Structure 1
């Protein structure tokens, strides 16, 4: 009988480790090829790994919550000539499992156990809250980024009064209804054409530039922020971008992100306007070198060019960038460019 060693694969660039969330089988179970075996969490992505072979589960060497490294053996499967599929249990296909309100369940009806946002570290002392594996991963990423990247943030306000008016006119007269986030993403892409060095990753102390604009979208989920990205924004219409943002957000919040969703991002945008707040200094999603953030637009009294006081809708924005590669002047030129695109060239982004 052949023993197949299922190794934890490298699911993302630079991935070194992950966590076991839950096994979907037990030792002695007979499985078929492509049957879901184990749910794992990697760099901000929770995903299900299917069985590459048919056979009988021999050893499950880890427990939920255990840390695993790339190429660790996470399952051993016995393969034999007499292993048919007729005795395979198909209970894993039953998606409508009874839900226990005290726990978190995935789409296979498997109790994830460790996944609630607040997990008690000590049942005697309920004032101690243990970080979930998701929170630990986020902590590792932001700590490394903050310690290794000299962050600089520049601030600006964008007058989006005319943009909002144009948006409402299109909705009223032509039935075109596009939310602001895809507009911001397209404006960022246009800005990157004029400042291509910001569309890059840090690579061994140098900048690796990319022709395609794979723009990450910071998504607020129950488990923490995740950053899937839209590939090749520079080649897509705003309507395509809008559809893809909707799909990415849905997958992120339902913990169904694909391996490729968070890979190969070149820059990130964070639109927190719905939550509110003025300004912040976001942490760069390494190895990227910049992150653009947009906040809640507010009506303000503004002095016009002819010295009249007018009420305008002003949008606060920030650009945080890696000071190793850019100076303050570079950041200001970048943020001024996107300001011009949103104030003067917004009509182009609705097509």
Structure 2
């Protein structure tokens, strides 16, 4: 009996990738869950395990070959055979014919199928060809913009006391945590009060989730990727800080797993380090909302007693799907998030 192992969808909307290396050889026996092949898309690199036990009957592709979802990348004869010794790295042989070696870059990517500025339009330096990753980003944002009626609400949060409290804890207890995990936790608390924002669009309706799988927009050299932290509502700020740092590092090293980018429920983008006033982000379809945070600046603020004081003000935007939410819903949500940062920040350091 032959089992056909299809190339799976490794992320939201990711339908194409390439073979990095087969870890077994034809004729070898494999057991269930044994690593079979390393594959890479524009956003993730991962090893796919065997769903069944048997003998490797056919490896139809070579390292660097492009595959799409539902392509058969391995055929397994469900029987007995010679035991596998794990990784197969024959494709790294330096005796590869010169013309074939020249067609791959250092990572085994076939440049003919994954065009870049260096490989295409060499005779016209005014043409900048989109990389595969930029094309994928273009597809995602175009689908989102054409499908979703975007509305953006704007607010400013006074985070002066939050920053003072954070600095005090660093001095007294040596606690050193960045603002991003605090923002992520505050967003999760807002979702507790406005659970419909923690949803995906599903056939014209909302599919609600109990877990807050909050996507973190990561700026990389190749473009933005959005891995997500799973079950934020069940974790402390310290736990979130460790996970977020790890996700960001793996994203920039192109070592995200396919599970890192799946099942996200809402996205947060913290661009404060870059600067700028505020923007109108595009929702990461099929999610229905995205929160963005910008650079906090000192501003003169008028108090309730008509006094002029200098406070650190954080610009915030919430972009949401107008099919499911009205402007009042968005304003209530962003006001809750703002209140969490201004009045309830101490709980995030507990």
In the other structure, the counterpart of 2:15 is 17
Preserved CA contact (<8 Å) 1:199 1:266:
yes
Q: How big is each residue's C-alpha offset from its partner over 1:188-236, in whole Å with a ceiling of 9 and x where there is no partner? A: 1111111111111111111111122111111111221111111111111
Q: Give 5+ residue unaligned stretches, structure 1.
A: 95-99
Preserved CA contact (<8 Å) 1:59 1:77:
no
SS of the equivalent of 1:127 reads coil
* Superposition deviation, residue 25 in structure 1: 4.9
In structure 2, what is the Cα distance between the partners aligned to 1:283 and 1:165? 33
Matches within 5 A, 1:291-302: 291-302=290-301
When the two chains are superposed, the root-mean-square deviation of aligned CA atoms in Å is 3.3
* Superposition deviation, residue 5 in structure 1: 3.5
In structure 2, what is the Cα distance between the partners aligned to 1:26 and 1:259? 18
Matches within 5 A, 1:215-294: 215-294=214-293
- Report the CA distance shift for 1:321/1:119 in structure 2 as closer, same or farther (over 3 A): farther
Q: Give 5+ residue unaligned stretches, structure 2.
A: 94-100
In structure 2, what is the Cα distance between the partners aligned to 1:126 and 1:315? 41
SS of the equivalent of 1:152 reads strand
* Superposition deviation, residue 178 in structure 1: 1.4
- Report the CA distance shift for 1:196/1:88 in structure 2 as closer, same or farther (over 3 A): closer
In structure 2, what is the Cα distance between the partners aligned to 1:309 and 1:61? 69
In structure 1, what is the Cα distance between the partners aligned to 2:87 and 2:301? 70
In the other structure, the counterpart of 2:96 is none
Does residue 111 of structure 1 match 2:86? Answer: no
- Report the CA distance shift for 1:26/1:122 in structure 2 as closer, same or farther (over 3 A): farther
Preserved CA contact (<8 Å) 1:30 1:87:
no
In the other structure, the counterpart of 1:127 is 126
- Report the CA distance shift for 1:16/1:171 in structure 2 as closer, same or farther (over 3 A): closer
Preserved CA contact (<8 Å) 1:153 1:320:
yes
Preserved CA contact (<8 Å) 2:199 2:287:
yes
* Superposition deviation, residue 316 in structure 1: 0.7
TM-score normalised according to structure 1 size: 0.84
In the other structure, the counterpart of 2:206 is 207
- Report the CA distance shift for 1:119/1:289 in structure 2 as closer, same or farther (over 3 A): farther
Q: How big is each residue's C-alpha offset from its partner over 1:294-317, in whole Å with a ceiling of 9 and x where there is no partner? A: 001111112222212221111111
